[in-house]
Amino acid sequence: NGEIPIVISTWANKGANKAAWDLLEGGKSSLDAVEAGARIPEGDPKDMSVGYGGRPDREGNVTLDACIMDKDGNCGSVTYLQHIKHPISVARKVMEETPHVMLSGDGALKFALDQGFKKEDLMTDASRKQYKKWLETSEYKPKVNIELHDTIGIIAIDQKGELSGACTTSGLGYKMAGRVGDSPIIGAGLFVDNEVGSAVATGMGELVMRSVGSFLVVELMRQGRTPMEACKEAIMRIVDRQDTTEVQVGYIALSKDGTYGAYSIKPGFVYAVTTKDGTEVVKAESYES
């Protein structure tokens, strides 16, 4: 593997890759491409880990985390954002229109509204029903590989060879109110270094944050690891230090030359790769078999 342009994303999110690819093919920037890709699951009520229709926290509030990073190392992020369907686009506005990297909660919402985003109810009949059912036991147990669609991390290289990445999620279903995961944290959920490559994480964010995973993957590539070797080493860093019996973490990585790879703790993690030859859903190698 190793061609340019290319877009890869976590899970079998072919629709996201298609939206991104259409822009890459038309000569648009990888930044435009990853934003367009991330917006697909955000707007899809059937995807219950992202944006509209996402699982709420245990108090019934849908709170969203997202970040975006470009070829120049600019980045923007929102955490604990409510009522806005496309947090990735708000994150891009934070990057482009403010002197800051991260806006959170009410401030992020106020900024989004000022920027013309609409306030919406992000719960759907399906997510309300599931939440009511969850309340019956209120047992908190994050599930591994929920139905092969989840938080989306998406990274791309455009025709000019420049890298960007995006990551967006409603976080772990039925998390504590106020919990923020790895996905909006630059270096944890996502990192882009235009000289080297980019990486993005999915799964139990706490484990990714503790090991600053995506930054680690990119730094390992800088030291000469292939994308797959770098993802594997970052996963081993987690596995060697804590109990991972019940949890999943997966990384995908893309190097500057278009080679890509992935690795996860548990089997079942897949990612979608799109080049001029079409889209392929690839099974990641994993620590456990």
Q: Which residues bind ligand SD4 (CB under 6 A)?
A: 49, 150-151, 169, 171-172, 181-183, 202-205
Could you tell me if 183 and 67 are in contact, meaning their C-beta atoms sit under 8 angstroms apart? yes
CB of 189 to ligand SD4, least distance (A): 6
Rounded to an integer, what is the distance from CA 204 to the centroid of its chain?
12
Nearer to ligand SD4, 17 or 183 (CB): 183
CA 121 vs CA 56, 64, 79, 91, 132: distances in Å = 12, 13, 17, 19, 17
CB of 95 to ligand SD4, least distance (A): 20
151 catalytic, yes or no?
yes
Nearer to ligand SD4, 171 or 261 (CB): 171
CB of 281 to ligand SD4, least distance (A): 17
Nearer to ligand SD4, 163 or 188 (CB): 188
CA–CA gap between residue 77 and residue 109 (Å, rounded) = 12
Q: What are phi and psi of 162, to 5 degrees?
A: -100, 145
CB of 183 to ligand SD4, least distance (A): 5
Nearer to ligand SD4, 183 or 211 (CB): 183
CA–CA gap between residue 146 and residue 171 (Å, rounded) = 12
CA–CA gap between residue 164 and residue 260 (Å, rounded) = 14
User: 277-280: which pairs have CB atoms within 8 A and are 24 or more residues apart?
Assistant: 279/14, 279/17, 279/18, 279/21
Active-site pick, 151, 168, 169, 244: 151
CB of 289 to ligand SD4, least distance (A): 20
Neighbours of 237 (CB within 10 A): 17
Nearer to ligand SD4, 194 or 211 (CB): 211
**For 50, which DSSP code?**
S
CB of 179 to ligand SD4, least distance (A): 8
Radius of gyration (C-alpha) of the chain in whole angstroms: 17
Nearest to 251 by CA among 198, 185, 210: 198
Q: Which residues of 66-92 are buried (b: 16+ CB within 10 A; e: fewer)?
A: bbbbbbeeebbbbbbbbbbbbbbbbbb
Nearer to ligand SD4, 63 or 275 (CB): 63
Supply the residues annotated as catalytic.
Answer: 151
